[in-house]
Amino acid sequence: MATFVLIPGAGGQATYWALLVPELQRRGHEAVAVDIAEDDPALGLPEYARIVELAIGDRRQVILVAQSLAGFTAPMVATPVSMIVLLNAMIPVPGETPGQWFEGTGAGQARLAADQAAGRSGEFDVETHFLHDLSAQARAVLMAEPPRQPADTAFGQPCAFRRWPDVPLRVLIGAGDRFFPAEFQRRLAEDRLGIEADEIDGGHLVALANPAGLADQLHAYAAKA
């Protein structure tokens, strides 16, 4: 059995993981969904990391799963873990801010190119880029509480780490991600981590779109941790 500590993306709402947690439990694992009040401007990347550390506590054999913006939190977590899974994640280099990441990686251009290739307008739209593959059940879970708009604080803060922890790193991509297109994510994983990414069905909110498939892949990772 492994313990999965699940860090949500922008907004920090633990409800993002609501469909994944029971799937992991059915596979014999513990799952801890972290909640971070990212709409609070008093909190930034160091505070996000501390909240994750408190959620880990004295647990062992922890696999850290970081969704989207949480890629900037994962390397700042000081508590030892056995594996880090970057899920449709922003992969930082030391000292980079989330704001710099978008320009430095070309994420916006990659999204625009993918939109144009698919015949979409290129204008960012929550329905088009985040919700397009969610079932009615998943939408109900997502909308069960008001969405949080992340404060600007973290986007201007450097990711304060020297190197990634010396543990297995996995990059897992939702093949249908329209916000961070799969080809862009594969290139980022290779350029910044030197690893080949894995893919599963689902878009940017893959934990809601395909919780069973995600749980299967995480279960497979745990077997090799």
Residue 144: what are its φ and ψ, rounded to 5°?
-65, -25
Average pLDDT for consecutive 10-residue bins of the chain (225 residues)?
Answer: 96 97 98 98 98 97 97 97 98 98 96 96 93 96 91 98 97 98 98 98 98 98 90
Question: Sign of dihedral through CA atoms 178, 11, 214, 194?
Answer: positive
Contact between 32 and 39 (Cβ < 8 Å): no
Question: Sign of dihedral through CA atoms 212, 202, 14, 161?
Answer: positive
Contact between 5 and 62 (Cβ < 8 Å): yes
Tell me the C-alpha to C-alpha distance, in Å, between residue 67 and each of 6, 113, 131: 8, 23, 15
Burial per residue of 174-191, b for 16 or more beta-carbon CB atoms within 10 angstroms, e otherwise: bebbbbbbbebbbebbee
User: Tell me, what CATH number does 184's domain have?
Assistant: 3.40.50.1820
pTM, entire model: 0.97
pLDDT computed for residue 224 by the predictor: 85
Looking at 3-44, list the stretches that DSSP marks H as alpha helix, in order from N- to C-terminal side.
Answer: 20-26
Count: domains in the chain:
1
Query: Mean of the per-residue pLDDT values for the chain?
Result: 97
Contact between 36 and 69 (Cβ < 8 Å): no
Give the Cα separation of 51 and 64 in Å (integer): 13
The domain in which residue 25 lies consists of 3-224
31: which 2 tokens? 């799952």
Segment 47-98, tens digit of pLDDT: 999 999 999 999 999 999 999 999 999 999 999 999 999 999 999 999 999 9
